[in-house]
Amino acid sequence: MKKCFSTRIANKAIPLCFVVLLPFYKASAQTKTEDAKMNTYVNGLMSKMTLDEKIGQLNLVTIGAATTGSVVNKGVEEKIKTGAIGGVFGIWGADQVKQIQDLAVKSTRLHIPLIFGLDVIHGHRTIFPIPLGLSASWDMSLIKRSAQIAAKEATAEGLNWVYSPMVDIARDPRWGRISEGSGEDPWYGSQVAKAMVQGYQGSSMKNADAVMACVKHFALYGGAEAGREYNTVDMSRIKMYQDYLPPYKAAVDAGAGSFMSSFNTVDGVPATGNQWLLTDVLRKQWGFKGFVVSDYTAVNEMTAHGLGDLQTVSALALKAGLDMDMVGEGFLTTLKKSLTAGKVTQQEIDLACRRVLEAKYKLGLFDNPYKSIDAVRETKDVLTAENRTEARNITKHSFVLLKNSAQTLPLKKTGSIALVGPLANNQRDMLGTWVVAGDWQKSVSVMQGIKNVVGDGVTINYAKGANITEDSLFIQRLNFFGQQMVTVDPKPADELLKEAVDAAKKSDVIVAVVGESQSMSGESSSRSDIDIPETQKNMLKELAKLGKPLVIVLFNGRPLTLTWEDKHASAILDVWAPGTEAGNAVADVLFGDYNPAGKITATFPRSVGQIPIYYNHKNTGRPYSSGPSKFKSNYLDISNDPLYPFGYGLSYTTFGYSDVKLSKTTLKGSESLTATVTVTNTGKYAGEEVVQLYISDPVASISRSVKELKDFRKISLQPGEQKEVSFTVTPDELKFYNSQLKYDWEPGKFIIQIGTNSSDIHAASVQWDK
């Protein structure tokens, strides 16, 4: 082939095309061969299956404690033996999983293996930062690596399916599950979705250390009204396609094996029974070939939405394109009756069954039902020293320095510090939300981490200072299902506070470790007040009166309102919920062994009254700029601006940006533009900087966002060093969904913006004609 091409055209560039095209051709041919083998196998198996066995494959049950609802399945063992269950979640461990798989493989008529799932959200045994924190690293290689490690550990304990990544765009920090996603931007969220899917699934889902990703929640779940869990979502189609759907599409393009439907309505129809969503968009428009599972009892909950009894809504869900029913058993108990009544067809049942069986085939479970059940791997691949070392590195890359006046940080490894706050000597709350298999007793507290990093060089004067909260009703809600997630110190609040003040008086600097506990964010953890809880803030106010440097180490699962803290603290380091290696990573950053480079991916408001607040908003007919004003789009009592804008994050060093240099100022058609800035490290420390590219389209056929993120580069610079950073812009970066939902670009003026965050930018304009 090479000889043929070089003979026909003497051009050195031609073999490059040949090299690219041939592997694609081979991959395409190989895929077709694999698909043919799979179809033959599944067709043969389904020809032997009874109706009951086909419906059984659509039934997903939980074993053990309820995790996201009050329903737990009963009689699981007998149902497995009769072929009435297709998958199980809520159990892990090689021995336990093997026992359950034995029931399916050895006790059923057709020996069809089960698929085993679990909520592996930000690590399995080795816990990484919550996804919102991971996203703040702006490092796709590290994000992907966290998923690879999670998959390796999960498969070592018998699992082959994880309910992650959550790719919902969220613009309301009151919503607890903002902690589980990657923030507010659809382009950036798409990059994270792709990295996570690739990390979980690897080069082949048949590999022993690969799992099938389950992308959630399809769709628009992050748009819940009032930031209240499970609430209504209502938005235009343009908003869906432009701002909320792209990360799901990116996950499809990355080869995600499964999707999970969301609890909310879409265009008035619950997502779990929404044919436009599950079939027209997901399968027909995007070409998704995997299967769709409901969220926890989401089929049953369609009744509460007002769509009918269990039989009615189960039939609606199947016809819409739902393939597997999680926990509710509506499919199991009603589909046979609905078939007899003509409410569903045999073809619809067969199609759902086929998709579930295909997933098991893609995982290699028909070749080896026990491929991810390995007692040896369970002892050597889980929570290893190597995994913890990688977690420590990934974790410190997720931290965001929100404030650092007078170069308070990094701290010296000498002298004395007052280490105070309810999260300072705390292991449980290091892990954050959604850590089903994580062991908080294996986590590193901030106090222990500081001791590990500085040894005896620093005198630590510790005091708890305050409880997480003193609100008894709030504590009761945080301790759901009888768990003791939050405990109250028996000492009176004023005594705790006095201990903190006394510790601070005899110390050079105060390090206050405060914020949200583990159960204050995540599912069913919406908050109307997103301040630091009052008892902790009271402690901070008393400490601030001492006039000593006050460093806040902030634990949080969402953007918080930090106007007082920003004004009075010397430094604020946002560490989110950092995971297993929390304390070590925090100490690495506090004492300068690593220079923080994280950037927030969700806007921090000044007040809940600004919510929803996000950088890529639309303009109004009466936009507000600055100064006193009336009859403009502004508040009487507060600035429009956020406290910290999207993409914001400081460093122990400083960076200077040149003006934007463009390769052209007028372009036409498919030409490409190169936009360049020179970035200089103007400070005293080596550091990393995330250089961000935004584009504005000021004149279009519909109202556009004021700006949109289109690319970024993460660079490292030594003190005094400078680098040119260039971005290539093509018409693809100019495209948007117009009023006909056509994805295209329109000619005109475009503003190219490059900077350190969405507000601090340098801009240049181009004219781009078609």
pLDDT digits (tens, 9 = 90+) for 405-453: 999 999 999 999 999 999 999 999 999 999 999 999 999 999 999 999 9
| Residue percentage of the chain with pLDDT more than 70 | 95
> Do the beta carbons of residue 539 and residue 569 sit within 8 Å?
no
Measured CA to CA, the distance from residue 612 to residue 169 in angstroms comes to 12
Measured CA to CA, the distance from residue 18 to residue 4 in angstroms comes to 11
> Do the beta carbons of residue 743 and residue 219 sit within 8 Å?
no
pLDDT at 65 over 70: no
pLDDT at 486 over 90: no
Instruction: Dump pLDDT digits (tens) for 346-393.
Output: 999 999 999 999 999 999 999 999 998 889 999 999 999 999 999 999
pLDDT at 599 over 60: yes
Q: Could you tell me which of 658, 647, 673 has the C-alpha nearest to residue 759?
A: 647
Reported confidence tier of residue 59, pLDDT bands at 50, 70, 90:
very high
Catalytic option among 295, 574, 588, 711: 295
Per the prediction, the chain carries an average pLDDT of 94
> Do the beta carbons of residue 660 and residue 694 sit within 8 Å?
no
Reported confidence tier of residue 255, pLDDT bands at 50, 70, 90:
very high
pLDDT at 73: 76
φ, ψ for residue 640, nearest 5 deg: -70, -25
Instruction: Dump pLDDT digits (tens) for 660-669.
Output: 999 999 999 9
Reported confidence tier of residue 1, pLDDT bands at 50, 70, 90:
very low
Sign, Cα dihedral of 738, 743, 748, 749: positive
pLDDT at 72: 57
Instruction: Dump pLDDT digits (tens) for 160-211.
Output: 999 999 999 999 999 999 999 999 999 999 999 999 999 999 999 999 999 9
In the structure encoding, which two tokens stand for residue 301, read together? 């909950």
Contacts 24+ apart (CB under 8 A), 138-144: 138/597, 138/598, 138/599, 138/690, 138/712, 138/714, 139/397, 139/714, 140/191, 140/192, 140/194, 140/195, 141/195, 142/393, 142/394, 142/397, 143/192, 143/195, 143/196, 143/199, 144/195, 144/196, 144/198, 144/199
Number of other residues whose CB lies within 10 A of the CB of residue 78: 12
| CA distances from residue 9 to 15, 19, 287, 538, 601 in whole angstroms, order as listed | 10, 15, 37, 77, 49
pLDDT at 512 over 60: yes
pLDDT at 32 over 70: yes
Measured CA to CA, the distance from residue 247 to residue 538 in angstroms comes to 40
Radius of gyration of the chain (CA): 27
Reported confidence tier of residue 64, pLDDT bands at 50, 70, 90:
low
HSE at residue 283, side-chain half, CA atoms within 13 A, is 17
Is 295 a known active-site residue?
Answer: yes
Q: Which one has a higher pLDDT value, 478 or 51? A: 51
Reported confidence tier of residue 5, pLDDT bands at 50, 70, 90:
very low
Measured CA to CA, the distance from residue 402 to residue 603 in angstroms comes to 12
> Do the beta carbons of residue 301 and residue 264 sit within 8 Å?
no
pLDDT at 68: 54
Cis before residue 612, ω within 30 degrees of 0? yes
pLDDT at 460 over 80: yes
In the structure encoding, which two tokens stand for residue 207, read together? 């590999």
pLDDT at 69: 55
Reported confidence tier of residue 462, pLDDT bands at 50, 70, 90:
very high
